[in-house]
Structure 1
Amino acid sequence: MPRISLTPPRTPLMRLGAWYSRRKYGKVLDPGQAYGHNARVLFAYVRLEQRAAKWNALDAGLKHLAVMAAAARINCSWCLDFGYWEGRELGLAAHKIERVPQWREAREVFTEVELLVMEYAEAMTETEPAVTDELAAELIGRLGEAAFVELTAMVALENMRSRANRAFGLTSQGFAQACTVPADR
């Protein structure tokens, strides 16, 4: 049960956001409804998401695995649910996305760089970040500095998303169930 009403004032911004959300995702996203109680916060958040969507120094698959690993570490069920749908939209294999929450036990599913990215996302997500010099150097060496900065920013953004969604009390919105899982499993 959400801790905040998911029926914010029906402002022009909220009506536009609901229309866009239904068009793009098939339903109105609960986080948007929660943020809708404060138009300035909602507007700033949407702008941040729009700009972050244009970052392209980091491989989209690696970026997504990092976001999912951070969401899993925070245990944000809404984020994992939506992340599954988003990963499928990116063309990532379902068996890989499903294993992100237990990536340490499913190392054989991931490449070496994917494992490093998820390790970094988890280390960065700790309440006191646990990123080591060695891990950062390894990722910079493999990804380059621009992609490393983008990875760091994406994990930080997912920490904001996941922590806010958990604080709002948001849970799964049914995106994973709406995905068709192809026979590549």
Structure 2
Amino acid sequence: MSRIPSVAPEDASPLARIAYRYARRRLGEVPEPLAVAAHHPKIMMATAVHELMAERAVHVVPKALLELAVYRTAWTIGCSWCVDFGTMLMRLEGLDVEQLKHIADFETSEAFTDEQREVIRYADAMSATPMTVTDEQVAALVERYGHDGVVELTDQIALENHRSRFNHALGITDQGFSSGDTCRVPWEVNEPVTTRA
């Protein structure tokens, strides 16, 4: 159960209800981070708009590499919700989900290419506190993906740091997206609460 309860549809603001309907159509269920953020509809909408715009903006770095960097970031921070959701996204994209079982040993595992290792190292360096990104790392990535590609990769890793830290801090845990079975609905676990509009 999250540290802040999810807002049930009957207690949600009109804006949150619209967001819930959209999420259900798109994902099959309402993601718990959305249902928790519904306590503050303006923050919820700002986050949702940012997510949609960022999703539509990526086009330089191969999708598989971006998803791997995002997954590693979630795994490093310890956000089980993001790991669960990221696994589902990779599966739906037709990417190698079996590879994720070896993410802890990416440096030595034959499941990863040198290009993937380079991206994972960058995700690790960005997710460390304090960050450990080097000039050499960025220069090598620029050589491979160009300035726009490095901006794209950096943005996706930074965005996942935001998601993972938000979810982890509020105790939002895996919802069952990666299993392909029915997801746990947030308000079936939490008691409905009233939120401010």
Task: Give the deviation of 1:132 after TM superposition.
Answer: 1.2
Residue in 2 aligned with 1:89? 92
Contiguous gaps of at least 5 residues in structure 1: 180-185
> Paired residue for 2:134?
132
The answer for unaligned runs of 5 or more in structure 2 is 182-197
Task: Work out which of the two has the higher radius of gyration on C-alpha atoms and give 1 or 2.
Answer: 2
Runs of 4+ in 1 over 6 A off after TM superposition: none
Residue aligning to 1:177: 179
Paired amino acid for 1:70: T
Give me the TM-score of the superposition, normalised by structure 2: 0.86
Q: Which amino acid aligns with 1:62?
A: L
> Which residue number corresponds to residue 45 of structure 1?
47
Measure the CA separation in 2 of the matches of 1:133 and 1:41.
Answer: 34
Task: Choose from 150, 153, 176 the match for 1:151.
Answer: 153
Q: Could you give the per-residue CA deviations for residues 120-173 of structure 1, whole angstroms, max 9, x where no partner exists?
A: 001000111101111111111111111011000111000000000001101110
Counterparts of 1:120 and 1:82 in 2: how far apart (Å)? 21
RMSD: 1.4
State whether residues 87 and 97 of structure 1, in contact with CA within 8 Å, keep that contact through their aligned partners in structure 2.
no
Q: 2:63 and 2:19 mapped to 1: Cα distance?
A: 25
* Residue identity matched to 1:141: E
2:186 corresponding residue in structure 1: none
Alpha-carbon displacement from aligned partner over 1:30-64 (angstroms, at most 9, x marks no partner): 00001100011011101110110012122111110
Aligned to 2:19: 17
Deviations 1:12-33 (A, max 9, x none): 2111111111122111100000
Structure with the higher fraction of residues in helix conformation: 1
Q: 1:19 to 1:172 in 2, by over 3 A?
A: same
Q: Larger RCO: Structure 1 or Structure 2 (Cα < 8 Å, ≥ 6 residues apart)?
A: 2
Check if 1:63 corresponds to 2:60: no
Identical amino acids, percent of aligned pairs: 38
Cα distance in 2 between the residues matched to 1:85 and 1:98: 14
Whether the 8 Å contact between 1:84 and 1:98 is mirrored in structure 2 is no
